[in-house]
């Protein structure tokens, strides 16, 4: 069985980073792990041969694969489309007579009638639609009943071993609290579902500083200009690990009503670096984490709740040590890149 992964961007640069030890193996949703463990996987490569002109922009707009990509799909048994729904791709894959899997394609549900119609047709053509959350799948099934037949969920995983040498180097194997700044937090997030406004209000109340790792255009001017925030972007993993090590905790603020696993990677990165995590409570994240056992949850868009969680970590050192130890152990036992990749293969094999 030959499996071709189709990414929205060419994965070549990220693959080189992983192979050089500069990025973790969960990059590309477990594809690298499968490839290096001799599973029959390949990737579609460059989305478009032509880099400019009318044809290029038309192809890019409708997500139309190039002839080179089509040739690769013709040799495949299964095409795995990562991180987005595409009716054009779905039609092409099915016309080629191949099995179709949408993988981590669902975030917020479409609101307009025509986008919902396109999503419904795309989902209907798929042999499998894979989520990372049972709760998120249930919410989508309510509006897209076809998912009761072809929808499923698998656990997200992370390459905790990638971070282990950095943890050892920064802490000198003494304590996860070594070199940490009590009045500095870190927040990492590059999607539109982050609630930075509530976080800034909490910082002002506590007079704390924040390293905000995001793209500047994602945040409002009022947040960007806050004296409590330092914005960092385009960091290497080694530079990011340094910021984690300096910070007393990671805060992952999520907008109320978010059902997909926004923030899961940031939370697990922090756990792998043995930094305690404060994160917005929602039903999907509660599938992964337990309050006071592996994270501290706070209520969405509630400044007082967030302030209380931060204050707990500042005053209760045994809580910090319990959170970091149990979270790190949880990653190693339950949420590994190997488990994620093997669960994906199991789902793909079930549609043969």
- Helix 237-246 vs helix 264-272: angle between axes, to the nearest 10 degrees? 70
> Which burial class, exposed, middle or buried, applies to 22 when counting CB atoms under 10 A from its CB (0-12, 13-18, 19+)?
middle
> In terms of Cα–Cα distance, which of 74, 72, 16, 22 is closest to 47?
72
Q: Tell me how crowded residue 235 is: count the other CB atoms within 10 A of its CB.
A: 14
Closest CA to 186 of 248, 239, 234, 255: 248
Burial-class residue 296 by CB neighbours within 10 Å (0-12, 13-18, 19+): buried
Sole residue written with tokens 């894979």: 130
For the chain, 352 residues long, give each residue's pLDDT as a single digit of tens: 899 999 988 888 888 888 888 888 888 899 999 999 999 999 986 554 445 554 555 555 556 677 788 888 999 999 999 998 999 999 999 999 999 999 998 888 888 999 999 999 999 999 999 999 999 999 999 999 999 999 999 999 999 888 877 776 555 433 444 456 788 999 998 888 899 999 999 999 999 999 999 988 778 888 888 899 999 988 888 889 889 988 999 999 999 988 889 999 999 999 999 999 999 999 999 999 999 999 999 999 999 999 999 999 988 888 899 999 999 999 999 999 999 999 999 999 999 7
List the domains of the chain with CATH numbers: 3-157+336-349 (3.40.50.2000), 160-333 (3.40.50.2000)
Between strands 229-232 and 209-213, the pairing is parallel
Residue 229: φ, ψ to 5°: -120, 135
Using the 8-state DSSP alphabet, how is residue 48 labeled?
Answer: -
DSSP state of 64: P
Q: Within a 10 A sphere around the Cβ of 332, how many other Cβ atoms?
A: 15
d(CA 163, CA 237): 9
Q: Tell me the CA distances in angstroms from 35 to 19, 163, 260, one per residue in order.
A: 11, 21, 27
Cβ pair 284, 133 in contact under 8 A = yes
């Amino acid at each position: 069985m030959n499996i071709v992964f189709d990414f929205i961007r060419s994965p070549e640069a990220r693959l080189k980073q992983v192979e050089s030890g500069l990025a973790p193996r969960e990059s590309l949703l477990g594809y690298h792990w499968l490839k290096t463990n001799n599973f029959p996987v390949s990737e579609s490569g460059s989305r478009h041969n032509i880099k400019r002109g009318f044809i290029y922009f038309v192809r890019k707009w409708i997500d139309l694969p190039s002839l080179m990509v089509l040739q690769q799909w013709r040799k495949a048994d299964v095409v795995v489309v990562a991180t987005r729904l595409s009716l054009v791709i779905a039609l092409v894959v099915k016309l080629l007579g191949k099995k179709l899997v949408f993988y981590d394609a669902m975030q917020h549900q479409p609101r307009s009638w025509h986008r919902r119609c396109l999503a419904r047709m795309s989902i209907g053509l798929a042999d499998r639609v894979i989520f990372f959350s049972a709760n998120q799948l249930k919410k989508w099934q309510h509006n897209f009943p076809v998912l009761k037949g072809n929808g499923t969920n698998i656990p997200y995983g992370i390459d905790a071993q990638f971070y282990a040498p950095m943890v050892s180097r920064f802490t000198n194997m003494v304590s996860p609290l070594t070199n940490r700044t009590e009045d500095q937090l870190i927040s990492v997030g590059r999607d539109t579902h982050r609630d930075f406004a509530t976080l800034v209000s909490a910082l002002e109340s506590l007079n704390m500083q924040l390293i905000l790792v995001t793209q500047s255009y994602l945040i409002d001017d009022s947040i960007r200009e806050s004296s409590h925030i330092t914005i960092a972007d385009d960091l290497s993993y080694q530079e990011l690990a340094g910021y984690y090590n300096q910070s007393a905790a990671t805060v992952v603020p999520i907008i109320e009503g978010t059902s997909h696993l926004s923030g899961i990677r940031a939370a697990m990165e922090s756990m792998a670096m043995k930094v305690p995590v404060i994160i917005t409570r929602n039903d999907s994240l509660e599938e992964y984490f337990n309050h006071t056992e592996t994270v501290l949850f706070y209520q969405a868009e509630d400044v007082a709740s967030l302030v209380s969680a931060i204050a707990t970590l500042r005053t209760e050192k045994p809580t910090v040590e319990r959170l970091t130890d149990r979270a790190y152990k949880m990653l190693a036992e339950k949420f590994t890149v190997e488990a994620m990749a093997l669960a994906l293969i199991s789902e793909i094999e079930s549609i043969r």
